[in-house]
Chains A and B, each alone.
Chain A
């Protein structure tokens, strides 16, 4: 299976955009080798600024540069971008609606062995609740590229959540990302998993496992978490008895909550699958998926349990 790391794609895409947009500026806070902004730094040294280990200042300087009409990409790890610099993102970027694209890598469990201190399971919740802020968690490397190319054209702030490791490619090059639109990847009969980020390919694998047990589950990629695809969620609620949200983020305030907020009062039951109000742990990201029961088998098990229990 073809795999791509979203952060690698980010680095390459920035390089491409740097040639097309002379007013594109990139900032990083001493993690350019990890976020992959380093390729832009090497190609465009006059338009790249490393502010050192100072995430608050990263956001403030980004806002100041953006105020002069430039497009600014600010990158660091998601735990720092959303938590450490929350107040700066809120006050200096979102409130005045500055054209700053926060592209945060090492999201959720993909921070891996670094453990709880580097794993934000709250970033979607934090960023989603700020007015003016748009939140996107691309489902694979192809989508990550399309998202970056799309948001460079859309004024105002964004928070984009990217994974560290190479993960299976879901979309092909013909795919076009549209803000506020989800994508049906697979139709089903018994229920649907609505996923974002790395959980999308995992949901697809879960659906395969479930099919062997005679349970037919659809899968939707909901990478645009804010704005969310209200129309699609509404139609899913009419077509499916069960909607399973699936995210490597706390079930409090993340994708599941976002779906719940717009779910029309119907028969459809929403089951939120994610991190159950816990902090992170150390381990390889696949190990952590198992640890938090977010691996394909565990999710299939959970889905099966909900559906079969109801049948009884």
Chain B
């Protein structure tokens, strides 16, 4: 799929709507970090990545690993756009037996690639996937989306070190730099800046973009693909809760579902579900 920016924007709007719908219906979940990551994920699935919806195990597919697993409502809403998830399934988020678990379950939903949820583990897994691609001389790319707070986990840096050692230029990381985590601003909870310098020091290519600008996301990934030896980290500056005025940059919406009244307001702002 190579949708143009206009079409990406329309899909992103619907994905935001459905992600928030699911969370509201479930009565719990993580709206803030789901909404901040939507534009990045939509760009990957509808402009960048090579995959076959009907064959999630196709060995030449590009892989997307959502390391910040709590943003899975955005992933599920994308899967809904792709027809992997049916309309009535959107009402089952976080319910017993559902494919739409509170954090992605790759056994029930193989398109998810990785069962994330314990933060810090996705990049190591992605290193393994990218390394296997090198062993098998495959040309697929491995994309991994990290939360900015997630980079406080030590394992991220173990993985960062190893990605450079193994010269994984087929590995492209994106950090959803929305600046907030549950307890407050990343820079007051546990400072991660200068984040770009840290990744550079670990031998990565680093690019910084506006994570809500589709053209910038696309051109950054194109640039990352030109890398000869190094993995690339794209630091995408985003707004937590992006798209819903009263959620934007509000830390309390990290892990709190909207009330029915808030959903009413948000659904209007998001322009409703125009899928049908």
Stretch at the interface among A67-75, A109-117, A261-269, A291-299: A67-75
A310 within 8 A of B: no
Is chain A's binding surface mostly helix, strand, loop or mixed? Answer: helix
Stretch at the interface among B118-126, B241-249, B267-275: B118-126
A206 within 8 A of B: no
Partner of A92, one of B124, B136, B154, B162: B124
A283 within 8 A of B: no
Check B59–A64 contact: CB distance below 8 A: no
Supposing A54-B158, A96-B115 touch, asked if A61 and B125 sit within 8 A by C-beta, the answer is yes
Q: Mark A47-91, 1 if CB is under 8 A from B, else 0.
A: 101011010110111111111111000000000000000011001
Question: Please, which residues of chain B bring their CB within 8 A of the CB of A95?
Answer: 105, 107, 115
Check A52–B124 contact: CB distance below 8 A: no
Instruction: Give min CB distance, B203 to chain A, whole Å.
Output: 14
Check A96–B155 contact: CB distance below 8 A: no
Q: How far is the CA of A307 from the CA of B187 in the complex (A)?
A: 65
A46 within 8 A of B: yes
Question: Please, which residues of chain B bring their CB within 8 A of the CB of A96?
Answer: 106-107, 114-115
Tally B residues with Cβ within 8 Å of A.
31
Check B129–A65 contact: CB distance below 8 A: yes
Check B131–A91 contact: CB distance below 8 A: no
Check B158–A91 contact: CB distance below 8 A: no
B255 within 8 A of A: no
Partner of B155, one of A46, A60, A66: A60
Supposing A51-B162, A52-B161, A54-B162 touch, asked if A62 and B128 sit within 8 A by C-beta, the answer is yes
Q: Mark B45-78, 1 if CB is under 8 A from A, else 0.
A: 0000000000000010000000000000000000
Instruction: Give min CB distance, A141 to chain B, whole Å.
Output: 31
Chain B residue nearest to A63 (CB atoms) is: B125
Q: How far is the CA of A97 from the CA of B107 in the complex (A)?
A: 8
Check A47–B127 contact: CB distance below 8 A: no
Supposing A52-B161, A54-B161 touch, asked if A60 and B129 sit within 8 A by C-beta, the answer is no
B201 within 8 A of A: no
Q: How far is the CA of A253 from the CA of B166 in the complex (A)?
A: 39
A162 within 8 A of B: no
Question: Please, which residues of chain B bring their CB within 8 A of the CB of A46?
Answer: 135
**Residues on B facing A (Cβ under 8 Å):** 59, 105-107, 113-115, 117-118, 120-121, 123-133, 135-136, 154-155, 158-159, 161-162, 166
Q: Which 6 A-B pairs have the closest CB atoms?
A: A64-B128, A60-B124, A57-B158, A54-B158, A68-B132, A61-B128
Given A56-B120, A66-B128, 12 other A-B contacts at CB below 8 A?
A: A51-B162, A57-B155, A60-B155, A61-B159, A64-B124, A64-B128, A64-B130, A64-B131, A69-B59, A88-B124, A88-B155, A91-B117
